[in-house]
Amino acid sequence: MSFNNVSPSVEAVKKDTFFSVLREALAGTERDFTKGSIPLALTILAIPMILEMSMEALFAIVDTFFVAKLGAAAVAVVGLTESVLALVYAVAMGLSIGATATVSRRFGEKDFDGAARAATHVVYLGFVVSLVMGVIGVVFAGDIYRLLGAGEDVLAIGLPFMQIMFGTSAVIVFLFLLNGIFRGVGDAAIALRVLVVANGLNIVLDPLLIFGIAFFPEMGVTGAAVATVIGRAAGVVYAGWALFGRSIGRLQVRAEHWKLDTGLLWSISRLSGTGVLQLLVTTATWSVLVTIVAVFGSVAIAGYQIGLRIFVFLLLPVVGLANAAAALVGQNLGAGQPERAERSVWIAGGSAAAILGSLGIFFVLFSNLLVSLFTTDPEVARYGSDCLRIIGYGYAFYGLAIVTESAFNGAGDPWTPTYINAIVLWLIEIPLAYVLANSYDVGPQGVFWAITISFSIWTVVAVALFKRGKWKLKVV
């Protein structure tokens, strides 16, 4: 593969307009991201990645929208299953950390055969992990529901739903893994198309299979699971075709790249395993915080969940920017340009902090208005508004934290953010949340303050470790 005549000169960069950059970002590019303007590279990569994150968030929203018409028990099924599937998502995203770090490093080295071999071994790893999770989910679906406190009405309609979702967890794993490969080589536009295919089919099939429209069977809440699985499977098929079939992207995979290399498989497994641990620590933290809020009743939980959903949804642009920074870090380290990799992170981090800092000001001033879009209950609105307002004070820190975490992961150093997560979230955030909420009569707002304080500490620690530069020496 050659990058002749695709690396932009300074003059060429100056001629780029907003619409030409947008067109290039969405259509795909052969641009060499180890050269040229860093802000331009971040923009071209981040635009499709931001849209990709939004597409991923649509799955649960669409399912909940249609299932809500079936009643409270059906909504509970989707909610409970999604809370358990968060573990599957954590595993899938953790695995994709290893995929992106390894593939981007090889691609930056211009070792395209090495990048292709890494891609095939990521697939091997995905098969093993998804098989284990699928079997566990199908066999123990009922026990999982009972553990979560589901009633018999929920269990009766929810068991097939969870068995289908868990039994086909491979489509979730491969959706994240294959898109992690595309992001690693800079094919963010293809990763976006994969989610467009998956979401488009899910949106069409959801009402048809849930309500039995036309000649489709009426499957109720189970239809939502079937529609989601078919949509995701279609996305995986398209991704596989793009990567291993037609090879329409920047990476060319051939038959010889499938030869098993146990050393490579072990290397990717170690990186991915640490990434999984990192995500599980974070996921478990949010679960514990919910239990602390739950002591104050369902109204407090509802307000917290509304505030948190708004908070997380508006993080998506920065998550896309962070993924772009991770890809640039991996490729530039592979190209022997650690200083360019570092500049990419500071530019992305500064942009993320500015974006979320502006949103944070909006949260502080207009949290009541935002929350009122989701509830008319004054008590729920009060808790939700407090959650957004208090989190808003530290929102700029979240931006820099997300980018820094992704930078460590992109450099093949997932252990550093994992250590920070374990220490700050479990030794500071959770104890602080409990003490503030219960010992100082602050109530649920104590949990909100603990989140803001701990993430501010997380950011300071992460930036200090990032500036030391040991991540530049990581061998992947």
Write the DSSP string, 382-397.
Answer: HHHHHHHHHHHTTHHH
In single-letter form, the type of residue at position 93 comes to M
Nearest to 362 by CA among 385, 380, 344: 385
Rg (CA), the chain: 22
Rounded CA-CA distance 462/344 in Å is: 16
Q: Give the contacts of 283 (CB within 8 A, at least 6 positions apart).
A: 86, 87, 90
**In this structure, what are the phi and psi dihedrals at residue 176, rounded to the nearest 5 degrees?**
-70, -45
Task: Determine the Cα–Cα distance for residues 274 and 423; give it in Å rounded to an integer.
Answer: 15
Nearest to 231 by CA among 257, 199, 192, 261: 199
For residue 336, give the 3-state DSSP assignment.
coil
Domains of the chain by residue range: 34-260, 277-476
Using DSSP's 3-state secondary structure scheme, residue 223 falls into helix
**Rounded to whole angstroms, how far apart are CA atoms 171 and 225?**
12
Spatial separation of the C-alpha atoms in residues 267 and 253, rounded to whole Å? 20
**What does the angle CA 423 – CA 322 – CA 406 come to, to the nearest 5 degrees?**
35
- Structure confidence at residue 14 (pLDDT): 47
Cα three-residue angle 371-56-268, rounded to 5 degrees: 130
Q: From first to last of the 476 residues of the chain, give the pLDDT tens digit.
A: 333 333 443 334 446 788 888 888 888 878 899 999 999 999 999 999 998 888 877 777 787 788 888 887 787 777 777 777 888 888 999 999 999 999 999 999 999 999 999 999 999 999 999 999 999 888 888 887 777 666 676 777 778 888 898 899 999 999 999 999 999 999 999 999 999 999 999 999 999 999 999 999 999 989 999 999 999 999 999 999 999 887 667 888 999 999 999 999 999 999 999 999 999 999 899 889 988 998 888 888 888 888 888 888 888 889 999 999 999 999 999 999 999 999 999 999 999 999 999 999 999 999 999 888 888 888 989 999 999 999 999 999 999 999 999 999 999 999 999 999 999 999 999 999 999 999 887 899 999 999 999 999 999 999 999 999 999 999 98
Residue type, 247: S
Read off the DSSP letter of residue 216.
S
Nearest to 32 by CA among 352, 343, 340, 402: 340
Pair of tokens at residue 224: 């939502």
DSSP character at residue 69: G
Query: Quick one: pLDDT at residue 411?
Result: 96
Please give the structure tokens belonging to residue 83: 């809370």
Q: What is residue 245's predicted lDDT score, i.e. its pLDDT?
A: 81
Residue 143's identity, in one-letter code, is D
For residues 140 and 132, give the distance between their C-alpha atoms in angstroms, rounded to a whole number.
12
Q: Which residue, chain included where needed, has tokens 């211009």?
A: 110
